[in-house]
Copies of this chain bind each other. A is one copy, B any other.
Amino acid sequence: MRIGEAGRATGTKSETIRYYEREGLLPPPPRTSSNYRDYGPEEISRLRFIRRSRKLGFSMAQVKELMALADDPDQPCETVDKIASAQLREVEAKLTDLRALRKELTKLVESCKHGTIAECRVIEVLAGNREELVSQRH
């Protein structure tokens, strides 16, 4: 599988795939006789994972951490737990915020269906005070 096809399969531009390789997120794939990158299903999985994680708001460094967990299951339990727990806390926080946002957007779409114009509280719903607790840590 060449870079263009890999890109179409994962919704990624060729340039971005090469960029991930340069930055160490993707291992350099084998090359064909004419020096084209040649991707297998394993690399496609990894690429798909990177794209999804980035869309969820994780940094490239965090994506690397997650992939390291998957790649090397023989790391000391302490390390795995530390990384996984931290990522888990972030995932939970994102889930909470997204559920609140979903509720508000659903209400908006519903009221539109009935021809009425609802007042929209998207801002208030995410402007709660959890963030203040987070920023205390700095």
Contact B122 A49, beta carbon cutoff 8 Å: yes
Number of copies: 2
Within 8 Å by CB of A81, from B112, B119, B128, lies: B112
In the complex, the answer to whether B80 meets A112 with C-beta atoms within 8 Å is yes
A and B contact pairs by CB, cutoff 8 A, 24 listed: A11-B134, A45-B127, A46-B123, A48-B126, A49-B126, A49-B127, A52-B127, A55-B94, A55-B97, A56-B57, A56-B97, A66-B122, A66-B123, A70-B123, A73-B120, A77-B112, A77-B115, A80-B112, A80-B117, A81-B109, A81-B112, A84-B108, A85-B109, A91-B101
Interface residues of A in 62-88 (CB under 8 A from B): 66-67, 69-70, 73-75, 77, 80-81, 84-85, 87-88
Q: Is A2 an interface residue (CB 8 A)?
A: no
Chain A contact surface mostly? helix
| CB pair B95 A98 closer than 8 Å | yes
